Amino acid sequence: MLARLQLSRNNSKPYLKSSPRFLNPQKPVNLPKPVNVEKLIAPPPDETQHGQTILQTLLPSLHRSWIRRPLPSRDTIIHMAIDARVKKGKEPATAFFFEQIISSLLYIQQYELAESVYKRMVKKGFTPSTRIILQLLTPGLKDADEATIRHLIHLVQDPTYREKDMVAYLKYTHKLKISDEVIAPIIEGFRLSRGPEFRPPVIFLKVFVTSAARLGNIEDAFQILENYPQPTNLKAAPQRGIFSAYMGLLATLRETRKWNDQLCNRVLQLMSKRGRWAKVQLFDELIAGEMSIGNGEVALFIFSMLKEMIEDAEAKIAPTIHTFDYIMDLYRAMDPNTLKAFQQAESGAHTPLRPLLRFFLRAFSNTRERIYLSSHMNLAIRAFMAHRDYAGALMVLDTFVSHGAKVDNKTYNAIIKLLMLRTSQDMHTRRIVSVPRWGDKFLGIVFKDTRVEFSVKLVNHILYLVTRKRFDVEKPLYAQWGVSFREINVHYQSQYYVPTFEQMKEPLLPPKEREYYDPVPLRRLLCRAIMAEDPEGGIERVYEAIQKAYDEMLSWQDAATTEIAQPQPTTIKRRSREEREREKEKENAVEQPPVERIAPSSGDDAEEFFKLYIGTPPATVEIPAASSTTEKTKSMDSDSEKS
């Protein structure tokens, strides 16, 4: 046996040695899944076993292997078990007894046997209930005509059809995976038959709202939400039900192509009017749901609504780290052409990456969310690298590292992998040989004179160059003719600690076992990638690109430091044990002030800038200062005269 039952020394309670927690004590943290009220009416996980258990309870003489036999044998076994149960007098032959058996057979999808027992019940003179007739007709709803659907609507409008029967019917339709479009008229007929004063239980709220919206009765859907009583003390389940009803209405409006700004704003206004239900978790779940079905445009539109509410001071709503992760992952997965099309659309839901990160960092500066972590930094870097914004990726790396985030193997993998991927695409796609591409400039080669070898040796050679004490950003990264590739040796002439190519592909370890690396080699590579966009500009091109990225992403920090902090009213809030421990860790930890990354304006600043981003400058390289175009031309003339 793989899992042996052993006894602990401390107590006599058994435990499984090969339990999941024993094999993997550090469970990964999963992002929150969208709340689904249908779980309240979902069938048990093992449906066949559950149905057989019900039948064996009703008919103890039923053999366990009866379901594996052919249909005639199964029919005979079922009727023999019924006869044995009735003849012994343990169960009277009532309509309720037969209906229980029919319902159990339908539950395990034995439709022929259920019909056979139904015929026997009718022959005995019993009148079947509306609930059983509805269940017998439901499996054929996928190919049903309008007459059958009208008949089912007439059945649910029967006064004897109760609410708990409708709950069982929703379980059954959920198990059969019948589409919401088919069930919507039946649910709407049940709701209308109860009259205008009917107040549905919370379990029906989402079902009634979405069904009315699918049939085009938008005003009825809003009326249901407006008339629903709001109790003062709600438990967890009613909160999820009401929360899911609003979310279901927004999702239904999107699925039925009735989505527009007015309806969405009306839903949000109703949520705030009914007691501040417009929480950020709603938007997180809506964004995650749209991303799961590949609808990025709607996800961006939902985020634009959330962004407007966050920027509104009266809304008092702030994003979460899940919002940041969802949006960064969405931008990473989208190609630049798709985002450009969204930007040109009339909705205006698209926000460029740099203002987007600026918005998030400003929003998180007023909250207790821990945004400056390695996992969030890696997501943001992947998004910027996917859109080839290397100056923006450098600003992300610099900002997060200055606030305490650590560089791990995933950070190196996110940057080096995409740099080498773009280089490989430039080398291996059809091209004009005489026209240099970005990959040629990044490696520092002439394409027609060099045969590039893409392998692990090339990656290790580049890592060898960027880990040296002295690094010239203008020198080529590819080994020149007659020079072999170098290997990384951290114990010999290495100034910075970096992972090897094999370590980059390793899975992310727990924080205690994880290794962290120096960010300077990544800064050097990103500066080289920026300069490859315009090699003629040289180092000044790198300065200008970083200065522009800083102005667009982080210049708000300068204004924030000059503002006078207004005293905030103190509020007493009961904190959990985890929150108290976090506050103690923050008090004991030495906070590092954010380092400003501004392009230099003088020679001394240029040298400091060079040391920060690229490392110790070579003695033979003169560091130019940022100057005007006239000064550049004068210096060029003087150099020509000296030569």
Distances (CA, A) of 92 to 78, 87, 322, 334, 404: 16, 9, 58, 65, 74
Highest mean pLDDT: which range of 6-10, 39-43, 223-227, 259-263? 223-227
pLDDT, tens digit (0-9, with 9 covering 90-100), for 261-305: 678 778 877 877 766 555 787 778 778 877 877 777 778 877 887
Q: Is the pLDDT of residue 320 over 70?
A: yes
**Four-residue CA torsion sign, 12, 17, 23, 27:** negative
Q: How far apart are CA 383 and CA 334, in angstroms?
A: 9
Determine contact, residues 132/158, Cβ cutoff 8 Å.
no
Nearest to 206 by CA among 194, 216, 191: 191
pLDDT, tens digit (0-9, with 9 covering 90-100), for 154-180: 888 888 888 888 888 888 888 888 888
Return all residues near 257 (Cβ < 8 A) that are at least 6 apart: none
pLDDT, tens digit (0-9, with 9 covering 90-100), for 213-258: 888 888 888 888 888 876 555 555 566 677 778 878 887 887 776 6
Q: How far apart are CA 610 and CA 90, in angstroms?
A: 92
Return all residues near 523 (Cβ < 8 A) that are at least 6 apart: 394, 397, 398, 612, 613, 614
Average pLDDT, the chain: 72
Integer distance in angstroms from the first to the last C-alpha of the chain?
Answer: 85
Average pLDDT over residues 419-424: 90
Q: What percent of the chain has pLDDT over 70?
A: 67
pLDDT at 61: 62
Average pLDDT over residues 120-137: 87
Nearest to 621 by CA among 521, 445, 474: 474
What are the residue ranges of helices labelled H in 387-455?
Answer: 390-402, 409-428, 438-443
- Contacts of the segment 16-24: beta carbons below 8 A, 24+ positions apart: none
Provide the residue ranges of all domains of the chain, joining segments of one domain with +: 279-371, 411-557+590-637
What is the band of 599 on the pLDDT scale with cuts at 50, 70, 90? very low
- Contacts of the segment 256-262: beta carbons below 8 A, 24+ positions apart: 256/213, 256/214, 258/213, 258/218, 259/298, 259/301, 261/347
Q: Is the pLDDT of residue 404 over 80?
A: yes
pLDDT, tens digit (0-9, with 9 covering 90-100), for 42-82: 344 444 444 556 666 667 667 666 766 777 778 888 888 88
Distances (CA, A) of 532 to 526, 528, 539, 548, 642: 10, 6, 11, 17, 29
Return all residues near 427 (Cβ < 8 A) that are at least 6 apart: 439, 447, 452, 454
- Contacts of the segment 28-35: beta carbons below 8 A, 24+ positions apart: 31/288, 31/322, 31/325, 31/326, 32/281, 32/284, 32/285, 32/288, 32/322, 33/285, 33/288, 34/247, 34/285, 34/286, 34/288, 34/289, 35/240, 35/243, 35/244, 35/247, 35/285
Return all residues near 529 (Cβ < 8 A) that are at least 6 apart: 390, 419, 442
Q: Is the pLDDT of residue 548 over 70?
A: yes
What are the residue ranges of helices labelled H in 1-91?
Answer: 20-23, 47-58, 71-87
Continuous segment of H or E residues that includes residue 607: helix 603-613
pLDDT at 554: 84
Highest mean pLDDT: which range of 14-28, 370-384, 549-563? 370-384
pTM of the entire predicted model: 0.59
What are the residue ranges of helices labelled H in 335-469?
Answer: 336-344, 353-364, 374-386, 390-402, 409-428, 438-443, 456-466
Lookup result for tokens 């159990």: 104
Q: Which residue has the higher pLDDT, 25 or 615?
A: 615
Q: How far apart are CA 346 and CA 336, in angstroms?
A: 18
pLDDT at 579: 61
Determine contact, residues 425/439, Cβ cutoff 8 Å.
yes
Query: Which of 89-98, 250-259, 591-600 has the weakest average pLDDT?
Result: 591-600
pLDDT at 384: 94
pLDDT at 379: 93
190 is written with which tokens?
């049940």
pLDDT at 74: 81
195 is written with which tokens?
């009259």
Nearest to 468 by CA among 430, 439, 497: 497
Return all residues near 26 (Cβ < 8 A) that are at least 6 apart: 510
pLDDT, tens digit (0-9, with 9 covering 90-100), for 337-394: 776 666 665 445 678 889 899 999 988 888 888 889 999 999 999 999 999 999 999 9
